Amino acid sequence: MNSVLNAGPTLGVGPALAGKRVFITGTTGFLAKVVLEKLIRAVPDVGGVILLIRGGRNGVTARARFEREVAASSVFDKLRAERPRYLEQFFAEKLECVMGEVTEPSFGLDPAEFYALSRRVDLVINAAASVNFREALDQALAINALSIANLSTLARAANAPLIQVSTCYVNGYQRGAMQEEIVRPARASIARHADGYYDLSNLLDYLNHRISQVKAEVSDPEQLATRLTELGIAEANYHGWNDTYTFTKWMGEQLAMRAMQGRALTIVRPSIIESTLQEPVPGWIEGVKVADAIILAYARGKTSFFPARPDEVIDIVPADLVANSILLASAEALTEAPARRIYQACTGSGNPIKLGKVIDLFQTEAKRNWRQYDRLFYNVPKRDFQVVSRPAFLLMLRAMRAGTGVWNGVRRLLGAGESPAIEALRTTQTLAVTFSFYTAPRYRFHNNQLMALARRFGAEDAARFPVDPAQIDWPDYLCRIHMGGLNRYALRPRGVSKAAATAAAAAAAPASCQEASVGS
């Protein structure tokens, strides 16, 4: 259970983090970049930042990957424009890259290097994750769950708080009001420890046994990946989760609670993270997220219907509100007595919006202003996007499958290629299999504890690190901000390759220092 947040002295992000060295994982991903940028920009007195980055192919170092995949990111454009010398100095003097693998014991470092690292760490923020909803079970387990042992070992050796970034969807197949508390499995029974978390010893033994069985039976790499993916989905469904991602993230929470018993552990659960609301700029995003995959398919004419519940609240949260939640939680963990805390960065209770309204806003904006989104829409949308029940969706799929199958056969007889309708059908099926759980919500996330935490900070921090979803104007955010950001940041101009876009971004980034050694 969460510790009770009694009225106490005002907390401060700056004083809490001043002089502290922050160890962060996952910065080659989306959310951790937002956290890193905000930390550099808003907490200049931070002692330093240590990034764990896996080495690349052909001997590419962690620092080289940082320069190419993190420093070159457009997330730093605001700092590059306003304070270029400060950013360059920070990268050179306060940012260290450690080459290691989060899934390896001691991150693959030798004992002396790992001990030296622990002496330089005051706070651990774990934002590394496999966010592939249908990841092979062994990979998802290693990244989202078992790696917690390595991170908690570092946190304990450093006597540092661990901030574990999870997801609101660890609630799985539960229904109703989802509070900031430990989640029980919705289906299969798992033994619960006296301290509240669930004991995964037997479950992990069973899952590792099943993984070993599959690996012994299958040698072909593609077939093996498929079998392990199917195993992950089957086990997730059996125990009460929709997919391997949410199942293994729930396991990660339990393992973190066990490993950090009696120490400072904060679990931050975001809902569906989308583009930034305000900082560093409105609409910044990297890659195509959950809702965006459906928007993009609709924009390109690949789908026009989807199984969903339009009258239910869908929980979308801007990335900067999540980053701010992580930094508030970090300040608390560094200031207060060690405790186990859980916060949910979400909008469903504080500023809810229904899925049907989201679709209406996107569709109206697309029809009125599609030319403004030149990378998203190549042509005016010709069809309305239909939301249907799951039974109706399955019936429509069968009818489409039959019709497109006949037409595709005719095209082949005539020597033509595959019908575009077949590709559209495949896209619709893939999107439904992957995302339909998230568009048919049966629960609402609550953030009472997070809001209580925010009230313990002063007015300056409240303005600098806002977390309140009430500030979101949904029509403005979803249309002008998010669609604009998706068009500008997540999608390349037509005819420009990914390699060319990456090279252009790297050329625009400032040079920084040489690779920092682990022992420095």
Question: In 3-state terms, the chain is what percent helix, strand and coil (to 5)?
Answer: 50, 10, 35
Residue boundaries of the structural domains of the chain:
13-285+316-351+442-483+492-508
Angle at 185 between CA 181 and CA 191, to 5 degrees: 95
pLDDT at 90: 98
Tell me the pLDDT band of 295, cut-offs 50, 70 and 90. Answer: confident
Tell me the pLDDT band of 221, cut-offs 50, 70 and 90. Answer: very high
Instruction: Assess contact for 140 and 146: CB atoms under 8 A.
Output: no
pLDDT in tens, 361-419: 998 999 899 999 999 998 888 788 877 776 666 666 666 555 454 444 444 544 545 44
pLDDT at 398: 63
Distance, in Å, from the CA atom of 137 to the CA atom of 213, rounded to the nearest integer, reads: 13
pLDDT in tens, 497-519: 555 444 444 443 333 332 222 23
Return the sign of the alpha-carbon dihedral for residues 24, 30, 33, 37.
Answer: negative
Peptide bond into 280 cis (omega under 30): yes
Q: Is 207 helix (H, G, I), strand (E, B) or coil?
A: helix
If we measure between CA atoms, which residue out of 324, 133, 136, 123 comes closest to residue 221? 136
Distance, in Å, from the CA atom of 481 to the CA atom of 466, rounded to the nearest integer, reads: 17
In this prediction, residues 128-145 reach a mean pLDDT of 94
pLDDT at 506: 42
Instruction: Assess contact for 338 and 262: CB atoms under 8 A.
Output: yes
Tell me the pLDDT band of 9, cut-offs 50, 70 and 90. Answer: low
Q: How many CB atoms lie within 10 A of CB 82?
A: 11
pLDDT at 504: 44
Class of domain 13-285+316-351+442-483+492-508: alpha beta
Looking at the predicted structure, is the pLDDT value of residue 293 above 90? no
pLDDT in tens, 433-451: 677 778 778 899 999 999 9
pLDDT at 441: 81
Tell me the pLDDT band of 92, cut-offs 50, 70 and 90. Answer: very high
pLDDT in tens, 11-43: 999 999 999 999 999 999 999 999 999 999 999
Mean pLDDT, all residues of the chain: 88
Distance, in Å, from the CA atom of 252 to the CA atom of 148, rounded to the nearest integer, reads: 6
